[in-house]
Structure 1
């Protein structure tokens, strides 16, 4: 089986697209839906359709999403879909020699952390609305292995491969019409050095 890579952003202007929290929210909503119109996305993010359309065009201008005219039923609908079902990634080291690049990496990383924290907080606030089966299946864990930088990079690759395998399994089931009992699941993983 060929190894699948997540597209990596190396262009600073493209990375800047994700300094805006609404663009992160729209990209996530579109990735979850796999395709949607600006009106559908506007309902999800509680923003005006015109504002959502503007930000979708910004995402498209940098190649993160594309129009999906094959999904429209009439000429008035404008459908969008992500370019990749693998999402995107970036490495701080690609921007380390550029002070602006380092600032943008920090800003995007903090925006992503804020949206992930908000999503997990919403789950914690709404746990009582979920069945025991789901609340027992949910997890939060922290491990503190002592590793080299190379080992941490290897661990990250292994964790990404596992997550991709489960993502593909869920998508295949959904494509086959098996949606019974399935929910969207957010999986957040962080691996970083620290000194006690």
Structure 2
């Protein structure tokens, strides 16, 4: 059985700290969706100076999250960027929170990701009518309350990762084959965490 692709798992605190800046999270997401882009193109989307965006892209590159996109520059003056891994990145909180500095970095990155996801979903809600009935009927938000052990929650996360990978590959294969009609970027946010009422 072939090994399943894995995300870039961050185990070094200095790498995680690259994402304590919310703009870097936003730039990484935009670059992931675009496939490749220049600092100037990204700067227009985040309403920042190209020099500032270029600085943050270099910082992400230093930590191995983005890389220059080869063969994209027409005249050598524009630097094209792409994400380094199509599988994205992730981390285990327990591997990085052994110190106050680690706990603070995990807290900042986790909250930054949550704020970014929230802003993305609120953006959709604010313009959902413009997407039309087909897309608004297909879009969903779900919440389930389950009784699980920590091991069962971890197993469920693995299953959800496998489902997500399968659908991502299906979309990529369709785009590669030229099947782009009606195809849009779709984001899915699922959270699984314990709580006590």
TM range (shorter): over 0.9
Is 1:104 the counterpart of 2:124? The answer is: no
Matched, 1:4 2:1: no
CA positional deviation for 1:145: 1.0
Write out per-residue CA displacement over residues 62-110 of structure 1, whole angstroms, 9 at most, x where no aligned residue: 0001112311111111111111001100111001311110111011000
Q: Which runs of 5+ in 1 are unaligned?
A: none
Distance 1:96 1:22 in 2: 23
**Mapped pair 1:149 → 2:150:** yes
Structure 1 residue aligned with 2:45:
44
Structure 1 stretch 42-51 or stretch 111-120: which is displaced more? 42-51
SS in 2 for 1:141: coil
Partner residue, 2:81: 80
**Which sections of structure 2, spanning at least 5 residues, go unmatched?**
none
Give TM-score scaled by structure 2 length: 0.97
Is the CA contact 2:10–2:90 (under 8 Å) kept in the aligned structure 1?
yes
Structure 1 runs of 4+ with >6 Å offset: none
For 1:45 and 1:33, the matched residues in 2 are separated by: 14
What's the CA shift for 1:60? 0.2
Residue aligned with 1:71, SS: coil
CA contact (8 A) 1:24 1:112 kept: yes
C-alpha contact 2:27 2:42 (8 A) present in aligned 1: yes
Indicate conservation of the 8 Å contact 1:69/1:78, yes or no. no
Check conservation: 2:97, 2:106, Cα contact below 8 A. Answer: no
TM-score w.r.t. the length of structure 1 is 0.97
- Distance in 2 (alpha carbons) for counterparts of 1:130 and 1:75: 38
Match of 2:178 in 1: 177
Aligned to 1:127: 128
Note the C-alpha offset of 1:124.
0.8
Contact 2:20/2:105 (CA < 8 Å) preserved in 1? yes
Distance in 2 (alpha carbons) for counterparts of 1:29 and 1:131: 24
| Cα deviation, residue 2, structure 1 | 2.2
Number of residue pairs the alignment of both structures matches: 196
Looking at structure 2, the residues matched to 48 and 179 of structure 1 have their Cα atoms a distance apart, in angstroms, of 32
Measure the CA separation in 1 of the matches of 2:47 and 2:33.
Answer: 16
